[in-house]
Amino acid sequence: MEETIKKQIARLPEALLAWYEKNARPLPWRETTDPYRVWLSEIMLQQTRVEAVKQYYTRFLNDLPTISALAAAPDDQLFKLWEGLGYYTRAKNLKKAAITIVEKFGGVFPQTYEDILSLPGVGDYTAGAVASICFNLPTPAVDGNVLRVVTRITELFAPIHQPAVKKEISRALAACYPKGRCGDFTQSLMELGATVCIPNGAPNCSVCPANGFCRAHANGTQLALPVRPAKAARKKEKRTVFLLKCGGKIALNKRPEQGLLAGMWELPNVLGALTVNQAASMLEEEGFAPANILQSAKRKHIFTHIEWDMTCYCFRVKNNVNSLIWVTQDQLLNEIALPTAFKKFLELI
C-alpha cells in the first residue's frame, strides 16, 4: 500500500509549493521559525481552529516571551492565559516541557525529531511539524488536514484512526519531502486541507493545485473520504451548580487532579437536578446558615464525551465553609481561570 501511495503523491510537492507561495494565509506563527514560537502554535492548534488560536497566541507570547519565562511562570498565570481554549493538560505539559528544555537541554530547544518527540505533550504530529518548519527536516506532520488531502488524492478508503494507516501515509510522505523546502511543504499540505480540500461539505476542487492527479476528484468520491470510525454516543448529565455569595466574595472549589477539567477551579456543583428547596437544604446540611435565594438560571455545556444540563442557584449565604475557597469578583475576573462551563453563570453575580 505504501508504494502505491508514494506513486500517487509524487507530483504533490511541486504542485503544492508553487500554490502555497501565492496562497498562504498570513498567520502570526508563520512570521518566524523560532522553535519556541512554532512549538507553542502547534500545541495551541491541536484540535483547535486557527481563528480561535490567534488571540491566545499573541497574548501568550507577550506575557511569556521566552522558554525560560514559561518554565518559571506561576500556574495561575499559565492557566489564565489558557482560559477558554480547552484541553488544559496542554498548558500543563507546555510548562513541563519548558522546564525539561531548561534543565535537560541547557535552555536550547531540541533540534532532532526524537528529542522534540520526547517532550511532554508532543506527539508524532507536533514533532514532525516543529522539526520540518524550524529545522528543515523531512518529517511529515500528519494531522486531520493532511489525512484528508492524502486519502482523497490516493482515494484511500482505509480508516484513518488506525495508527497503521497513519504510519503508511507518514512514511509515503517522508519519501517525497522536497530538500530545502521541508517546512513549506508541511505547511502547504495543511493549508490545502484547511482552505481547499476542506471538511464539512464540498471541497473547492476547481482551484486545487492537485486536481490534475487527484483520484477522488476524478471519481467524484471526495465526500466519502476520509473514512472515520463511528462516533460514540455522548452521555448526558444533570448537574446543580451553586453560585454562593458571602461578604462580597464568591465560593470556588478545586477539581480533582484527574479526569474532566483536572485541577481546574469550578463553581461548587453536584450531580442531579435539585429543586431550589433541595438545594437550600443541602446548603444547611453542609454547614451554611439558612440561605436566601437570589436568582436561578439554566445552561447547557457540551464536552466531547458528556453533556451537562446545569441548573444554577445563586444564594446569598451568611457564613462560609472552610472546604471552599472564597474569592472576590476582581480575583475571579483577573486572576483565576474558570472553565467555560461555569463562566456561563457569572452574569448572575
Partner DNA sequence: AAGTCGGGGGG
Partner DNA sequence: CCCCCAGACTT
List the catalytic residues.
42
The closest alpha carbon to 252, from 153, 345, 122, belongs to 345
| 329, 246 contact by CB (below 8 A) | no
54 forms part of the interface with DNA (CB under 7 A): no
Burial 165-196 (b: 16+ CB within 10 A, else e): bbebbbebbbebbeeebbbbbbbbbbbbbbbb
Shortest Å distance, C-beta 214 to DNA? 17
Question: Any contact of residue 168 with DNA (CB under 7 A)?
Answer: no
Instruction: Establish if 345 lies at the interface with DNA (CB under 7 A).
Output: no
> What is the rounded CA–CA span in Å between residue 168 and residue 254?
44
CA 23 to chain centre: 25
Binding DNA (rule: CB under 7 A), the pick from 199, 212, 247, 287 is: 199
Candidate segments 67-75, 214-222, 245-253, 256-264, binder of DNA by CB under 7 A: 256-264
Instruction: Tell me how far CA of residue 70 lies from CA of 65, 212, 232, 274, in angstroms.
Output: 8, 46, 37, 43
Is 163 near DNA (CB under 7 A)?
yes
Indicate which single residue of 138, 193, 209, 268 sits in contact with DNA (rule: CB under 7 A).
Answer: 193
Q: By C-beta, is 117 or 175 nearer to DNA? A: 117
Task: Please give the residues from 282 up to 321 whose contact with DNA meets the rule CB under 7 A.
Answer: 301-306
Element (H, E) at 332: helix 329-334
Stretch that binds DNA, among 79-87, 107-115, 213-221, 268-276 (CB under 7 A): 79-87
Minimum distance between the CB of residue 43 and DNA, rounded to whole angstroms? 8
Q: Which residue has the cell 474558570?
A: 338
Number of residues in contact with DNA under rule CB under 7 A = 63
Segment contacting DNA by CB under 7 A, of 15-23, 83-91, 149-157, 204-212: 83-91
Among 100, 170, 187, 240, binds DNA (CB under 7 A): 187
Name residue 17's amino acid: L
Q: How far is the CB of 237 from DNA (least distance, A)?
A: 11
Q: What is the rounded end-to-end Cα distance, in angstroms, of the chain?
A: 60
129 contact partners, CB below 8 Å, separation of at least 6: 38, 42, 141, 143, 186
Q: Assess 260 for contact with DNA (CB under 7 A).
A: yes
> Is residue 125 at the binding interface for DNA, with CB under 7 A as the rule?
yes
Q: Which residues contact 84 (CB under 8 A, 6 or more apart)?
A: 340, 343
What is the C-alpha to C-alpha distance for residues 295 and 316, in angstroms, rounded to an integer? 10
Binding status of residue 194 toward DNA by CB under 7 A: yes
137 binds DNA (CB under 7 A): no
**Near DNA by CB under 7 A: residue from 89, 204, 292, 323:** 89
Q: How far apart are CA 12 and CA 169, in angstroms?
A: 13
H or E element that contains 246: strand 235-246
- The interface region with DNA, picked from 161-169, 170-178, 270-278, 284-292 by CB under 7 A, is 161-169
Q: How far apart are CA 175 and CA 168, in angstroms?
A: 11
Answer yes or no whether residue 22 interacts with DNA by CB under 7 A: no
Nearest distance in Å: CB 193, DNA:
6
Q: H helices then E strands: how many in the chain?
A: 16, 7
Which of 25-33, 207-215, 240-248, 284-292 is the region at the interface with DNA (rule: CB under 7 A)? 25-33
Of 80 and 246, which CB lies nearer to DNA in the complex structure? 80
Judged by the rule CB under 7 A, the positions of this chain that interact with DNA are: 27, 29-30, 41-42, 45-52, 84-89, 93, 120-127, 129, 143-145, 148, 161-164, 187, 190-191, 193-194, 199-201, 228-229, 231-232, 258-262, 301-306, 339-341
